Structure 1
């Protein structure tokens, strides 16, 4: 396979430039203008950050991408899907509040925020996964699939399960509905935390398989009837229903690749990753530890696999920052992400993405 082109610019600026101008120049050079945006709906997939976390991408970067899309006559919107866990992004109302709290408003970014899987995380599209080993139909947030063009804008950082959170993670896990996220995290069926259940029966009303019954006003899920769709998780107001969370990290990484395949297959896509504030864990946490390496720069490509590998190579070429998790585990050789998360192996997901035809690990780095 021919090498993919990955474009790069560092974080240095001059009196006549700034980081937003550099980002705009980067994505233009990388070929974003070759996409037909005229009157097209354009989903810009981004992580809005959990309340309390300060390592997420600044909204200024989102504005630069949105402004470029509008200059190309597109109709951009920022989007993400709801989370499985308790926090500031588990339903669309809280999620939008969090986005606004962290600066992602229409006034600061120049475009609207749409939570792709709807109010309760149940507004999804079943998308066939060509060549999927674990997933035959991915459950993707409807607004993501309704868009004509898809752009990923990723904060590249460490991750406690996938090794790092790059373009594949942002797309695959990020675009999954709540049920989709359950499918990636779990090989089993959801269960009820009895102490949190109040017997409201909302979950039973959403179950198409009559798998939920009640004993002493507490819900129980019959796994022989349960289809594992995860809708009960989305509608539970008390967060009393949880996924099994029993999938191995390697299989989860491969499922993320398969969900990515569902999102990007057969439509115009473009991918941007910023290797800045490289925290050791995901932006989904309500706080962030110190960055593990110095800021590297901004990358862009039509190939999300090559983009992830280029970003990982760039991080691994950096020295550790003092008083960081990486420095605590430092030695002169080895992968930075594996040192911070010794139970993770990001290369498994990359290899599966190549098998699925999403992209290649071979890249040409072009400095802008």
Structure 2
């Protein structure tokens, strides 16, 4: 099976082809009208960004999708799920406040913000899937109840997944906090004592209290969930994981959760991916580092695997930016995210998603 992915590049020299127009046109050519019926409660799944992050998808772009759904007589709402770690999106009250602070107010986006797994992340349903790692996954209740969905994804790097695309947006983004823990199961941080300086910064960032300082940092593996918060902040890069054993399983568990997130919605999900501000880190971190490649544009497809495959190919074909955290693989054709997270082969999530029937890694790219 070969899926179609549509591309609108960033270059523009007249107002009739501005980026807002391009996003609306992508929704049209990718078939949104086939997916939305009159009165459909339509989840617009996105990431509002952790407080301190500023490279999430622009609210003005999200508004174009809201307008497109309303034009088809759908009933859109913006949504995400609560995090398993303590931060500005750990419960619905803080999460909605963060969304508003980041510009996702009703006056801007013309749609309500609903947190899909409820006030404390306990509103979810069990979805049966034919997985290798899971036979049942915990998906947020409002995702399950939505009759259609538009998945808006900011494509960027990720310390454990290599990159975060549509698959990860479905997997982590549609799971309850317990579902997120399911996916991280077996991932445990390890400290290289010869590199650790005992600064204690990892202790302040661990959401589970799994790290303490003796002469060096010590991880209590009985309560470590492998969230990678410590990995991302260690100034000496003294924290790691068992990359060869644990990361491929993690990526497979993500793909299986993504399969559960779209169960029962065949022909009712559109994916729009934003290849702008392509940073090395997830929008879950409370900062935004410099992009690793120039802005490319926007993608749309009805296939989450194909749109991720196209995104990675487009990013890899760019010349890497020298003034970024990219430490190698700057040349076109080289794997950019491995130039940041060299231990992670993120493409495995695409291969496994293809294998389990989430979508196809084979695609045709049509530029509009």
**Alignment TM-score > 0.5, same fold:** yes
Matched, 1:249 2:231: no
Deviations 1:9-46 (A, max 9, x none): 01122133321111101110111111232101001110
1:354 matched to 2:336? The reply is no
- 1:236 aligned residue: none
In structure 1, distance between residues paired with 2:117 and 2:225: 18
Structure 1 194/66 Cα, relative in aligned 2: closer, same or farther at 3 Å?
A: closer
1:260 corresponds to:
258
Deviations 1:39-60 (A, max 9, x none): 0100111000011111111011
In structure 1, list runs of 5 or more residues that go unmatched.
197-222, 224-240
1:205-236 residue CA offsets vs partner (Å, 9 max, x unmatched) = xxxxxxxxxxxxxxxxxx9xxxxxxxxxxxxx
Q: How does 1:280-291 map to 2 (within 5 A)?
A: 280-291=280-291
2:113 pairs with 1:113: yes
1:179-190 matches, within 5 Å, as 179-187=178-186
Q: In structure 2, do the counterparts of structure 1 residues 70 and 250 end up closer, same or farther at CA, with 3 Å as the change threshold? A: same
1:314-353 matches, within 5 Å, as: 314-326=314-326, 328-330=327-329, 332=331, 334-353=334-353
Tell me what 1:310 maps to: 310
Report the 3-state secondary structure (helix = DSSP H, G, I; strand = E; otherwise coil) of the residue aligned with 2:15: coil
2:200: which partner in 1?
none
Q: Is the counterpart of residue 88 in structure 1 residue 70 in structure 2?
A: no
RMSD: 2.1
1:125, distance to aligned residue in structure 2 (A) = 0.6
Q: How does 1:68-147 map to 2 (within 5 A)?
A: 68-129=68-129, 131-147=130-146
Question: Aligned partners of 1:264 and 1:173: how far apart in 2?
Answer: 13
Q: Distance in 2 between matches of 1:339 and 1:297?
A: 21
* Paired positions, count: 321
Which residue does the alignment assign to 2:173? 174
Aligned to 2:3: 4
| Cα distance in 2 between the residues matched to 1:364 and 1:330 | 25
Q: Does the 8 Å contact 2:319/2:330 carry over to 1?
A: no
User: Aligned equivalents of 2:108 and 2:86: distance in 1?
Assistant: 27
Conservation of the 8 A alpha-carbon contact between 2:317 and 2:334? no
Q: Which moved more, 1:353-362 or 1:41-50?
A: 353-362
Higher mean Cα deviation, 27-36 or 78-87?
Answer: 27-36
Given that residues 37 and 69 in structure 1 are in contact (C-alpha distance below 8 angstroms), is that contact kept between their aligned partners in structure 2? Answer: no
Distance 1:193 1:315, change over 3 A: closer
Distance 2:128 2:186 in 1: 19
Q: Distance in 2 between matches of 1:19 and 1:64?
A: 10
